[in-house]
Amino acid sequence: MVSHDETGDTGYRVHVCFGANCTPRGSRTVLTSLIAAVHEAGLSGRVEILATSCRDRCEYGPSVNVYPGPVFYNEVSDEAVADIVAEHLLGGRPATNWLFSSVLARCQPTRNRAADRAKTAQRGRRR
């Protein structure tokens, strides 16, 4: 575990968004998985988990912030929770596959595929 300040405090605070957009996308499951994974990892005394209001990344929920940081995670799934606990909360380094910036990069091709489908549908109508 990496030390975060001069007092040697190595604790983390994790905010799970329960805003209007993230909750229907699975915030309750994320919270339950996170509590279980933190407990299993023996980190219950060092990681505080809170359900919070909107984190301002509504299109990419469920959103999770880890402090110190904040480090922003998005589209958090059970797989993401496992990685965040192992890599970040236990290992001291952000779980790069789930960072907000990584999510944005993954979303770009999805948007292009949607545009491609629309173009294909238009072409089909012309025939």
Smallest distance, ligand FES to C-beta of residue 110, A: 18
Q: Does 15 bind ligand FES (CB under 6 A)?
A: no
34, 38, 43, 61: residue in contact with ligand FES (rule CB under 6 A): 61
Given a contact cutoff of 8 angstroms between Cβ atoms, the answer to whether 61 and 21 are in contact is yes
> Cα separation of 20 and 9, whole Å?
33
Shortest distance, position 61 Cβ to ligand FES, whole Å: 5
Tell me: does residue 63 bind ligand FES (CB under 6 A): yes
Show Cβ contacts of residue 98 under 8 Å, excluding neighbours closer than 6 positions.
73, 74, 75, 76, 80, 83, 84
Give min distance, CB of 83 to ligand FES, in A. 20
